[in-house]
């Protein structure tokens, strides 16, 4: 049985529209459709090879570094350089799409608030 493409692969392939704020050969970033903060951007590698950040770190640390760098650049642009970077790993931790992605959250977050 062939697994259907994730929503992120469908966004990369332009099958589903998204509010894209950054794109390179390796990474795409777009606004979350259900934001948990004033700034909530997803940074997604274009490859669907890795389900979570642990797999990505083991398989392609340079791509992980790119995601973190892009996250910082987006935070500089949209959140005054201050942000949270969240990778959910596993369903019980809130991961709903098993195509690794980072949540960039910013814009007036307070200590103790948690976005899922």
Amino acid 40: pLDDT: 97
Q: Is residue 95 part of a domain?
A: yes
Q: Whose CA is closest to 85, among 45, 115, 50?
A: 115
pLDDT at residue 3, as a whole number: 73
Spatial contact of 75 and 83, defined as CB atoms under 8 Å apart: yes
Query: What count of other Cβ atoms lies within 10 Å of the Cβ of residue 55?
Result: 14
User: For residue 109, what pLDDT band results from cuts at 50, 70 and 90?
Assistant: confident
- Where does the pLDDT of residue 108 fall: very low under 50, low under 70, confident under 90, or very high at 90 and above? confident
Per-residue pLDDT averaged across 32-42, rounded?
96
- In sequence order, which ranges of 1-116 are alpha helices (DSSP H)? 7-12, 53-59, 61-78
Does residue 69 fall inside a structural domain?
yes
For residue 75, tell me if it sits in a domain: yes
In a domain, 101, yes or no: yes
Domain membership of residue 1 (yes or no) is no
Q: What is the CATH number of the domain that holds 68?
A: 3.30.428.10
User: What is the domain extent for residue 73?
Assistant: 7-106
| Whether the predicted pLDDT of 78 surpasses 60 | yes
What are the catalytic residues?
Answer: 101
* DSSP β-bridge partners for residue 3: none
Domain total in the chain: 1
pLDDT higher than threshold 80 for residue 66 = yes
- How many whole angstroms separate alpha carbon 107 and alpha carbon 86? 15
Asked whether residue 115 is assigned to any structural domain, the reply reads no
What does the mean pLDDT of the chain come to? 93
pLDDT reported for residue 90: 93
């Amino acid at each position: 049985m062939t697994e259907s493409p994730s929503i992120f692969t469908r966004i990369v392939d332009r099958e589903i529209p998204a509010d894209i704020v950054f794109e390179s050969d390796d990474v795409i970033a777009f606004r979350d459709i259900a934001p948990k903060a004033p700034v909530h951007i997803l940074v997604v590698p274009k490859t669907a090879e890795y389900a979570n950040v642990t797999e990505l770190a083991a398989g392609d640390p340079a791509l992980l570094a790119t995601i973190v760098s892009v996250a910082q650049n987006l935070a500089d642009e949209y959140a005054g350089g201050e942000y949270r970077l969240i990778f959910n790993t596993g369903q019980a931790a809130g991961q709903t799409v098993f195509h690794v992605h980072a949540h960039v959250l910013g814009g007036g977050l307070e200590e103790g608030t948690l976005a899922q």
